[in-house]
Amino acid sequence: MQGYHFNIDERPVSCWDWKLNLKNMEFLDGIDALYFQYIAEQNVNNLDDDENKHKAAISLRVAYSQSLETLFALLCSAVQSPQCTVGWMLNYKNSELIRIIKKISKKEFVYSRLKEKYVSWFNISKAIHHYFGNDSQKKDMIIKGYGSLWARFASEYTDSAFSYEYNSIKHGLRVNPGGFQLAVGHEDIPGNPAAPEKMINLGGSDFGSSFFVKEKITGTPKHNFRPRRYSRNWDPIHIANRLSLISMSINNVVNWLKLINGKKPERCKFLNPENLNHLDEPWDKFSGPSSISMDLNIDKANINTATKDEIIKSYKREEA
């Protein structure tokens, strides 16, 4: 019997199996690191198609969130359970993943199997790319490049508006595709919008989405809520480029895990962009507002509340 004991964030667990090592390697071998790059390549050419461009953009956006969750789950499993990736990946909760990512970004304490004294994206990259070639200067650039890349991804993945949008797409496809433009101007007459020629354009994007988020109404019981409108802008080309970098990142994490679990080095391939400056490019050019939420305020005084029992009774037919 083979068993491994490890933490998922701060929750201790134990994973057992007669052939746990073999199943762990089978799990790692089954991860297709280049899947997300394939999704990018299949959709990017449709961004110029007026009929299908927003469908292609939303497909890229879904893949982006999925790929980031995959990457960070693998990275966090590499930190906490490098000898039992399958056990960590089968057991983590998204809330735990978010907490670990935030701790690593803030350099707070994380239960770790790595040799480094503290866990950071740089130190994780240093461990994973330890076997990356003999050119020390290039190796240092790769370690720093991926470390900075993962830190940026972590900041975006843990942003609440980013999660709201992904959940709105994933659960019921409840988004309106397309970005927004933002302009401001002084109202000469209060309540009347400024003339278009007097507005200052702050920029925007053709691509993005608008969606509603459940928001609690202050001062009322928890079952009272309202749909609040959110809008986000993004560049699908940047997302496609990021998907390629995420695929390379996943590949490197998986191959490092294979290597430390007994796979022969010649069967483990690590990837990086030919031009290491490409690790920064997906963030270089986008400008303008990335997200906005504007809606009318609602508070307790605006609504007539009903108890849960009253709501349930409203479904019952009156007895004759």
* Mean pLDDT value of segment 261-271: 85
Give the type of residue at 315. Answer: Y
* Mean pLDDT value of segment 274-283: 74
pLDDT band at residue 36 using 50, 70 and 90 as cut-offs = very high
Statement: residue 286 has pLDDT above 70:
no
* pLDDT tens-digit readout, 290-312: 778 888 888 888 988 888 998 89
Residue 320 located in a structural domain: no
* Mean pLDDT value of segment 218-233: 89
Domain hosting residue 85, numbered range: 2-311
pLDDT band at residue 126 using 50, 70 and 90 as cut-offs = very high
Residue 237 located in a structural domain: yes
Residue 156 located in a structural domain: yes
- Residue-level pLDDT at 299: 86
- Residue-level pLDDT at 246: 97
Residue 316 located in a structural domain: no
Average pLDDT, rounded, for the chain: 88
- Residue-level pLDDT at 318: 54
Residue 206 located in a structural domain: yes
| Strand segments (E) across 80-180 | 175-177
Specify the long-range contacts of residues 89-92, CB closer than 8 Å, at least 24 apart. Answer: 89/27, 90/15, 91/8, 91/13, 91/15, 92/8
Q: For residue 210, what is the enclosing H or E element? A: strand 208-216
C-alpha 287/C-alpha 235 separation (Å) is: 10
Closest of 112, 65, 81 to residue 5, by C-alpha: 81
Residue 299 located in a structural domain: yes
* Mean pLDDT value of segment 165-188: 81
Residue 319 located in a structural domain: no
* Owner of token pair 């001062």: 219
* pLDDT tens-digit readout, 88-112: 999 999 999 999 999 999 999 999 9
Burial bucket for residue 296 (CB in 10 Å: 0-12, 13-18, 19+): exposed
Residue 293 located in a structural domain: yes
Q: In the beta sheet, which residues pair with residue 176?
A: 210
Statement: residue 320 has pLDDT above 50:
no
* Mean pLDDT value of segment 234-238: 89
Domain count, the chain: 1
- Residue-level pLDDT at 287: 66
**Alpha-carbon distance values, 133 to 8, 116, 247, 263 (Å):** 32, 21, 20, 17
For residue 188, give the DSSP letter: S
* Mean pLDDT value of segment 8-33: 95
* pLDDT tens-digit readout, 40-76: 999 999 999 889 999 999 999 999 999 999 999 999 9
C-alpha 163/C-alpha 97 separation (Å) is: 13
* Mean pLDDT value of segment 171-185: 79
